[in-house]
Amino acid sequence: MESFEIKYDNTLDEISKGYSLFWKKYALRRTIIFTIVYAIALGVGIDFVVRDYTNMPGYILTVIGLGMIFSTWTKPYYAKKRLLKTLESFGEERYSAVFSEKKIVIDTEILPDEETETVAVTSQGVMTVGEDVEIPEEQMIKHEKTNISLRTEKLDSLETEEMFLLFVNKALIYIFPKRCLDEEQKGKLKDYFEDKNI
């Protein structure tokens, strides 16, 4: 299969939907299992309290069970909210992805009118520095492309009406919106995932 390239961007709405699909695919089952465990603890706590209203361990189990169930279901919501807020502060970014026989390379495009800053790790943290300042090689933060090896990474994909999603090692997701692709690119991407059993 010949390599091909797509260029795209992600809206906050697309990232939100992608995150939700990612959570349903990899975390929902675990969340349900933990909820069952905490519900059992809650039930035991309530049983202790009903049998003897002075039973302090019963109240403790009840509170812990309720708290953990609440935390288990609200944690993904707040994690998504924090992620979207962080990404919103970055502003608009465009990406390019090259799909080849052995790997997928994803890069953030530097737009022509975009000013780039030189950034270095210093004793005071990560700092923006002027062009006339010399920075030791080991302190520089470099712009690097993401290389996803088809041989070493465990990949999975999903197609919806609005996007293609690429899941990497149950820990990372890439979203390729269909609105950024023409019909030929949509076909190539679909065929690529099928050909590579992703």
Condensed to tens digits (0 to 9), the pLDDT of residues 83-122 reads 888 877 767 788 999 999 999 999 987 554 445 455 445 5
Interatomic CA distance for residues 190 and 51, integer angstroms: 60
Interatomic CA distance for residues 136 and 64, integer angstroms: 51
Sites in the chain below the pLDDT cut of 70 = 1, 90, 110-143
Of the candidates 182, 156, 151, the one whose C-alpha atom is nearest the C-alpha of residue 169 is: 156
- Strands 155-159, 146-149: pairing kind: unpaired
Beta bridge partners of 140: 120
Q: Decide if 196 contacts 154 (C-beta within 8 A).
A: no
